Structure 1
Amino acid sequence: MAARFPEGNQVQLRPQKGHDMTWSCDKHGEPIAFYCKKHGLFVCDRCAIKEHCQKPCELDDIEDVIFERKKKVDEKQPEIQELQKQMKALDLKIKTALAFSDTNLQTVNNNIQASYHNKIKPVKEKEDRMIRVINEEAEEEIRLVNEKREKRIKDCHIEREKERKIIRDEEEKLLSDAKKITEIVFKKIKDLTNKSQHVINTIKNIECTITRINQRDETLVNEAPQVLASIDENLSLNVHQDVSDCLHRIENAIQGVKFVEGKVGGEYYDRIDGNKWELVKSIHIPSRVNKPWVRGLVSEDEICVQDGDNNNTYVTNINTKHTEKVIDEGVLITSCVPMDSNVIVCGKRRDDCTGDRLNGCITLYDRQRKVFRDISIPRNGYTSVHVDVDRDGMIIASQSNQSNIYIINPADDKIVNAITMQGKKVRGVIQALSSGDIVVKTGYDKYTVISRSGEEKAVIYSDEWGWWSECRVDKLTDILYIVHLDRANNTCTIAVDQVSQDGIIQARIVEYVQSDRSRVLSPCFITPSGNLVGFDGNKLHLYKKTFVL
């Protein structure tokens, strides 16, 4: 193989024409002498002798090879020059074409941009128009929303102001009632103070007189009888005891004044209870109601009255004193109570019930006295049902002569709880207390307070109530009011006793003579505003608890 001599180790050769003497064999380090056409190798003398001397190798002298190839290279020089000339011309053409292309394509690019700019411009204008419309519509909607919002806020202010006015008016009325009580007490105490001060001043004057007359015997003898008489007169008045007794009565009267508030039938009520019941008015039940029986409160101002002869049902308004027939010849109503401002629930007695269910013995009416729907409970014997509504708006129902009391959800008419009394049966009215307990009539003159689990908590009874009584509860205070007959003095007097939940009779509050028109004892009712409504068989008597000294 041909290679250059290594530096510093070159062999000095005889220079020949056209031959680079530094060109040596890689294998032997000797100058190249031949070219082997067979193998295409440049070889030295030793390579030629040892490896390329036999056929088919054909060796050419290196000088001839160099000369021949140089000649061929030189012969190509004009072609190279011509090619260089052509390439320079081609390079110019390329540059010219590039410049032309650049210019032309830039023009095309400019035209494209101009064209699409013109196309985008209306799109942008359309977008601006649409956004403008959207903004205008949004502004209009916002304006309408704001107007609606402002109207709703204004309406809200108006409605809440109405509510505030009602609350303020109620507060003002209660404060006015409290102020009247305060003025009565203040005037009475002022009178007592003046009376006491008058006695104190009189005693001081007597003391001064005694001091004066003691200074001279003559004066003492002459004026002592009058002074002694004055002392005896003041001592006989016993002002100290009278004032003390009066103060004690005032304290007891004030102690009986209470602010009461709460919800009944979904409505909020508040009031000031005084210390004494006073008759406000009496309302005659018209003669077209042959045998009037009072069955319950329909609202704060309305009493349900039923004719015992034909079961026609009436409503008497205690404000207007007007009595209106609402149901013709219906079934016997045992009890009725407002569930809320829209619905009234009635318990009934139906003799046409068969099977194992009491259908139509509990009925819901709307305020137009139209049947809303009936609620069914299990039937066990008697077909008379009494009802009430508890603090949570649940219906409490019981069947006469049975031990079960049912708690019914009026939302779906389902019985959510069944309370069973042990050893006792329902004999009439049931009343819900705000504590959740229930007052059940368990005898003609006995009432039992039971818990929701059926536990007996108290038995309420009095020998004075005789053979028949009726009980109703003040829903705001849980005070029981027992109506019973007092047959003293050959008259039949209806008395109302105020009784606590533990059975203690607190007071005999009112009495009225029973009429011959209806001999059925009707219960009294306490309206949420604190009025007591009693019925003597002919008239409704409306009492109000006022403050009296």
Structure 2
Amino acid sequence: MASIFRKGKQVELRPRKGHDMKWSCDKHGEPIKFYCKKHKIPICHPCATKDHSQKPCELDDIEDVIFERKRQLDEKRPKIQELRKQVEALATKIKTASTSGNTHLRTMNNNIQASYYDKFESVEEKENRMIRVINEEADEEIRLVNEKREKRIKDCNTERENERQIIKDKETKLLSDSKKISEVVSKKFKDLTIKNQHLINTIKNIESTITRINQHDETLVNEAPQVLASIDENLSFKVHQDVSECLDRIQGEVERVKFVEGEVGGEYYGRTDGYIGKWKLVKSIYIPLVGGVRGLVSDDEICVHDVGNKDTYVANINTQHTKNVIDGGEWITSCAPIDSNLIVCGKERWDRTGDRLDRFITLYDRQWKVIRDINIPRKGDEYNVYVDVDRDGMIIAAQYDQSTIYVINPANDNIVNTITVQGKEVSGEIQVLSSGDIVVKTDYDEYTVISRSGEEKAVIHCNEHDEWRDSDCHVDKLTDTLYIAIWDRARKIYAVDQVSRDGIIQARRIVEYMKSDRSDYVNPCLVTPSGNLIVCDGDKLHLYKKTFIL
């Protein structure tokens, strides 16, 4: 820095370095010679002598001030240029990610359309075969069966159109869900692009300002401090980092979205899933009983047991109608559809005899008329049996407090396989995954995944002490995701956790709901094949639907 000006010292006027004109004082018309650090203004020799000669004024040579300001601005140039390169590269990355995301979603749409195209073809082929058979039969007795043939063809066409319409409606819904996801993703990419472009524009404006103030020394000296402050305030690498991290998160969420399909209870289902999303309450259905959820009968029908009089009801979540299907006397523990005609129920009874558990497993038709009972060997003194159905239509059954699980063919009631849970016992419901593996409740807060040979593949529990002490589990048959309903003792509410088949807790408290005064225990939450979540507070059934969010 220049030496401080002292009173009485005469300073010779020097030509400005690299300039043809002299910078003059507005007040005295004298060349600018000094810069007052206290008042932060450039001054001439008379100003320095008359107005700035006493302390605390400290004067620097104006040439040194100009040189220092230029040096400070020049030091910022590499930082500005580096950040500019990064944000321009990020703009390219955003564009690439947007293209990749859209391509991924278009591929999923193509998969959906291809899947449903095959089903259209299958319906066409099946109905054409039926029409050919009808025609062959009618040709043998043309006069007698002509009228009957025409009627059957008409009925067949009507059935075909009904099936086509059902498939079309499902496809339309799936494509609509996919479109909504695409719109959410596109909006997010647009927002990121705007944010990043704003940063690019800010950089350009600052660069333009630096170029402008460098053209005149007076402007440089007067405006450089404000420009430097603006650079530090606006050119933050945090903005760039936030955009980059948000982009990575969007890419990850988009890649999680997938089209899942499969058969549950003999019916085909397909939907978009794979993401965590957000569950929103769609409707609540009052049930006029002290309700205990026992399982799904179909995508929109729930088996509910009245724990007071032991009656069994079916609640339809679409019509919101509740129908009594079994009058008291039998305690239903679980139920599952085998196909479009059969339902299997596990029960708790106290009228057992001998070495067999008689009438602990019952097959019903869709009108809830008993078809027959299935017996399994009796072990121990606990008399309740849990059931589920695997992807092949086999019944999976187990007695409480025992280590044996039976695989039963419902066509002939034969036990085709016996599975032993190694070192553990069945402590509640059993659920079959799409792979054939079985999720078994093996303790009050523990679920164990075993193979068909009994091998332990995963132990699922919560690390929080007693968090799952009162809990029940249900498996999404299309994704193998576990939904565990728990009673939060501290907050006095029900809640549901989402867990992978490997035991990874994917999301806590995806839904929460209050407990009815009529119920003192936890009901399992149910996931319908179409992807809806149903919970029961003992008084109402609550239906939740998952939406895609970013």
TM-score normalised per structure 2: 0.68
Larger radius of gyration: 1
Deviation at 1:531, TM superposition (A): 0.9
User: Alpha carbons of 1:361 and 1:140: their partners in 2 closer, same or farther (altered >3 Å)?
Assistant: closer
User: Alpha carbons of 1:271 and 1:140: their partners in 2 closer, same or farther (altered >3 Å)?
Assistant: closer
Q: What residue is the counterpart of 1:485 in the other structure?
A: 487
Deviation at 1:536, TM superposition (A): 2.6
User: 3-state DSSP class of the match of 2:383?
Assistant: coil
Q: What residue is the counterpart of 1:231 in the other structure?
A: 231
Q: What residue is the counterpart of 1:212 in the other structure?
A: 212
Matches of 1:370 and 1:277, distance apart in 2: 39
Matches within 5 A, 1:280-429: 280-286=281-287, 288-289=288-289, 291-380=290-379, 381-429=381-429
Question: Which amino acid letter does the alignment assign opposite residue 163 of structure 2?
Answer: E
Q: What residue is the counterpart of 2:455 in the other structure?
A: 455
User: 3-state DSSP class of the match of 2:220?
Assistant: helix
Deviation at 1:225, TM superposition (A): 4.7
Matches of 1:177 and 1:202, distance apart in 2: 38
User: 3-state DSSP class of the match of 1:425?
Assistant: coil
User: 3-state DSSP class of the match of 2:371?
Assistant: strand
Matches within 5 A, 1:82-97: none
CA contact (8 A) 2:461 2:468 kept: no
Matches of 1:511 and 1:544, distance apart in 2: 14
Gaps of 5+ in 2: 1-137
Please identify, of 160-169 and 331-340, the stretch whose mean Cα deviation from structure 2 is larger: 160-169
Deviation at 1:302, TM superposition (A): 1.5
Matches of 2:211 and 2:460, distance apart in 1: 65
CA contact (8 A) 1:285 1:292 kept: no
Q: What residue is the counterpart of 1:472 in the other structure?
A: 474
Question: Which amino acid letter does the alignment assign opposite residue 499 of structure 1?
Answer: V
Matches within 5 A, 1:261-272: 261-272=261-272
Matches of 2:167 and 2:348, distance apart in 1: 41
Deviation at 1:424, TM superposition (A): 2.2
CA contact (8 A) 1:385 1:397 kept: yes
User: 3-state DSSP class of the match of 1:354?
Assistant: coil
Question: Which amino acid letter does the alignment assign opposite residue 517 of structure 1?
Answer: R
Matches of 2:142 and 2:365, distance apart in 1: 42
Question: Which amino acid letter does the alignment assign opposite residue 169 of structure 1?
Answer: D
Please identify, of 493-502 and 357-366, the stretch whose mean Cα deviation from structure 2 is larger: 493-502
User: 3-state DSSP class of the match of 2:443?
Assistant: coil
Q: What residue is the counterpart of 1:99 in the other structure?
A: none
Matches of 1:393 and 1:539, distance apart in 2: 31
Q: What residue is the counterpart of 1:513 in the other structure?
A: 514
Deviation at 1:526, TM superposition (A): 0.9
Q: What residue is the counterpart of 2:163 in the other structure?
A: 163
- Cα deviations across residues 294-315 of structure 1 (Å, max 9, x unaligned)? 1111211121222212112222
- Cα deviations across residues 155-211 of structure 1 (Å, max 9, x unaligned)? 666544543443333223212211221111111211211221122122112211210
Question: Which amino acid letter does the alignment assign opposite residue 544 of structure 1?
Answer: K
User: Alpha carbons of 1:532 and 1:157: their partners in 2 closer, same or farther (altered >3 Å)?
Assistant: same
Deviation at 1:530, TM superposition (A): 0.7
User: Alpha carbons of 1:214 and 1:262: their partners in 2 closer, same or farther (altered >3 Å)?
Assistant: same
User: Alpha carbons of 1:439 and 1:236: their partners in 2 closer, same or farther (altered >3 Å)?
Assistant: same
Identical columns (%): 69
Matches of 2:141 and 2:311, distance apart in 1: 59
1:523 aligns with 2:524: yes
Q: What residue is the counterpart of 2:59 in the other structure?
A: none
Question: Which amino acid letter does the alignment assign opposite residue 245 of structure 2?
Answer: D
Matches within 5 A, 1:243-262: 243-262=243-262
Matches of 2:249 and 2:492, distance apart in 1: 32
Gaps of 5+ in 1: 1-137
Question: Which amino acid letter does the alignment assign opposite residue 536 of structure 1?
Answer: D
Matches of 1:218 and 1:144, distance apart in 2: 111
User: Alpha carbons of 1:385 and 1:302: their partners in 2 closer, same or farther (altered >3 Å)?
Assistant: same
Q: What residue is the counterpart of 2:442 in the other structure?
A: 442
Matches of 2:227 and 2:145, distance apart in 1: 92
Matches of 2:165 and 2:296, distance apart in 1: 27
Deviation at 1:326, TM superposition (A): 2.4
CA contact (8 A) 2:280 2:547 kept: no
Matches within 5 A, 1:485-504: 485-488=487-490, 491-504=491-504
Larger RCO, structure (CA 8 Å, separation 6 or more): 2
CA contact (8 A) 2:302 2:316 kept: yes
User: Alpha carbons of 1:294 and 1:145: their partners in 2 closer, same or farther (altered >3 Å)?
Assistant: closer
Q: What residue is the counterpart of 1:71 in the other structure?
A: none
Question: Which amino acid letter does the alignment assign opposite residue 276 of structure 1?
Answer: G
Deviation at 1:319, TM superposition (A): 2.1
CA contact (8 A) 1:277 1:543 kept: no
Please identify, of 275-284 and 159-168, the stretch whose mean Cα deviation from structure 2 is larger: 159-168
User: 3-state DSSP class of the match of 2:368?
Assistant: coil
Deviation at 1:324, TM superposition (A): 2.6
Please identify, of 235-244 and 336-345, the stretch whose mean Cα deviation from structure 2 is larger: 235-244
CA contact (8 A) 2:436 2:451 kept: yes
Please identify, of 215-224 and 431-440, the stretch whose mean Cα deviation from structure 2 is larger: 215-224
CA contact (8 A) 2:276 2:507 kept: no
Deviation at 1:368, TM superposition (A): 1.8
- Cα deviations across residues 381-422 of structure 1 (Å, max 9, x unaligned)? 222111101111011111112222111111112222222333
- Cα deviations across residues 188-237 of structure 1 (Å, max 9, x unaligned)? 21121122112212211221121011101222244435534543442359
Question: Which amino acid letter does the alignment assign opposite residue 383 of structure 1?
Answer: Y
CA contact (8 A) 2:337 2:344 kept: yes
CA contact (8 A) 1:253 1:547 kept: no
- Cα deviations across residues 229-272 of structure 1 (Å, max 9, x unaligned)? 54344235943123223223322322332211001011000001
Deviation at 1:511, TM superposition (A): 2.9
Q: CA RMSD in A?
A: 2.7
Matches of 2:429 and 2:305, distance apart in 1: 17
Deviation at 1:481, TM superposition (A): 1.8
CA contact (8 A) 1:279 1:541 kept: no
User: Alpha carbons of 1:317 and 1:240: their partners in 2 closer, same or farther (altered >3 Å)?
Assistant: same
CA contact (8 A) 2:265 2:298 kept: no
Question: Which amino acid letter does the alignment assign opposite residue 317 of structure 1?
Answer: N
User: 3-state DSSP class of the match of 1:519?
Assistant: coil
User: Alpha carbons of 1:278 and 1:263: their partners in 2 closer, same or farther (altered >3 Å)?
Assistant: same
